Amino acid sequence: MQDAVTEHVEAPPERVWELVADVTQTHRYSEETFEAEWLDGAAGPAVGVRFRGHVKRNGRGPTYWTTCRITACEPGREFGFEVLAGRSVVNTWLYRFAPAGDGTDVTESFRLPPSLGTKVYWALAGWARGRTNRANMRATLQRIKAVAESG
């Protein structure tokens, strides 16, 4: 009920982190989130800050808004957030940035919280969603790479 993908980017960790942590620009990279906005008067990332994303699941629907809360916000090192359904966490996304050679190894990961519902879902359809998530994470990181490396 978790997975991760890593991509090497020829740019400093701080530069790559800035691209990821500006959630209002997520639509430039994501396969599913086509817009996002800060909530509660926030103007940028910090632990505890909330934002919401407009998602088109699997690129075809359903389409919905989801509220998220930042859980990790360390420039150049990591950026993470929880996807919320009311007060419940339904998914956690994390980006880690590690200096490597001429740039940064960026790892995007997700983790579903262990619950009976999650276990049943994962047993029945999780393989398909996992495959989609891996492909989407890879595409997202490749788009981030292209922007970061273009200057």
Q: Residues 18-27: pLDDT tens digits?
A: 999 999 999 9
CATH at 67:
3.30.530.20
DSSP string, 82-104: EEEETTEEEEEEEEEEEEETTEE
Question: Which pLDDT band, with edges at 50, 70 and 90, does 89 fall under?
Answer: very high
Position 130 scores a pLDDT of: 77
Per-residue model confidence as pLDDT tens digits over 97-123? 999 999 999 999 999 888 887 778 777
Burial 76-89 (b: 16+ CB within 10 A, else e): bebbbbbbbeeeeb
Supply the DSSP symbol for 112: P
Per-residue model confidence as pLDDT tens digits over 39-83? 999 999 999 999 999 999 777 778 999 999 999 999 999 999 999
Per-residue model confidence as pLDDT tens digits over 119-145? 787 777 777 777 888 999 999 999 999
Supply the DSSP symbol for 113: P
Parent domain of 144: 2-149
Position 122 scores a pLDDT of: 75
3-class secondary structure, 8: strand
C-alpha–C-alpha distance, residues 141 and 151, integer Å: 16
Residue 86 in tokens: 């009311």
Q: In this model, does residue 14 exceed pLDDT 80?
A: yes
3-class secondary structure, 39: coil
Position 92 scores a pLDDT of: 96
Please enumerate in sequence order all residues whose Cβ is within 8 A of that of 105, keeping only pairs 6 or more positions apart, or say none.
6, 7, 8, 9, 97, 98
**Count of the separate structural domains present in the chain:** 1
C-alpha–C-alpha distance, residues 132 and 24, integer Å: 23
